[in-house]
A and B are shown apart, each in its own frame.
Chain A
Amino acid sequence: EVQLVESGGGLVKPGGSLRLSCAASGFTFSSYSMNWVRQAPGKGLGLEWVSSISSTSSYIYYADSMKGRFTISRDNAKNSLYLQMNSLRAEDTAVYYCAREGVENYFDYWGQGTLVTVSS
């Protein structure tokens, strides 16, 4: 059974940093691209793609609003995905999901999400 378990969320002050992790199991992690997607809480509709990393980390992409502040990485030996978030802003407050990428531009499995709250 494919499982994605995020951790590392919490309360952080504006300007602070946080590192999210996603532990993968039930599939060959090193064969799949992985992604981070976020959703602001209490604001109704809205999924926002954050970043993508290919299976060997050769290709990395970011949403424009995250470039320069967020860094995606992975450790295939540990079956883990990471998101380093720096210079956090109030508008970064959201539930952050990790998601496995299928063969052709879709996300076939999602984790349960971890909540990041940026507030003073």
Chain B
Amino acid sequence: ETGVTQTPRHLVMGMTNKKSLKCEQHLGHNAMYWYKQSAKKPLELMFVYNFKEQTENNSVPSRFSPECPNSSHLFLHLHTLQPEDSALYLCASSSNPGASSYEQYFGPGTRLTVT
């Protein structure tokens, strides 16, 4: 596998379920990101991890719980979600800002539907 991978690609869950999204990057990056993409809205940054430490939590509700066990893996644990949480969840990774090689590489996303 190369680049940034995400599993599952599609997920349907009820409001009382608990599920997790997984992201893995094979690029040697140190920073990883979760974004939410809803229809008609800009991409919303949710969380940023740099060297496994959370550096940004963009006022995300506690029903979303991120976990970054190492620089290559990022999880998003979901529980008691609401229908408005249905969206495409994108993971990205990058090297350090300030480097000329900096760019965020995105995975294909997980399409989440909350019923």
Q: Do A and B bind each other?
A: no
A binding-site residues for B, Cβ under 8 Å: none
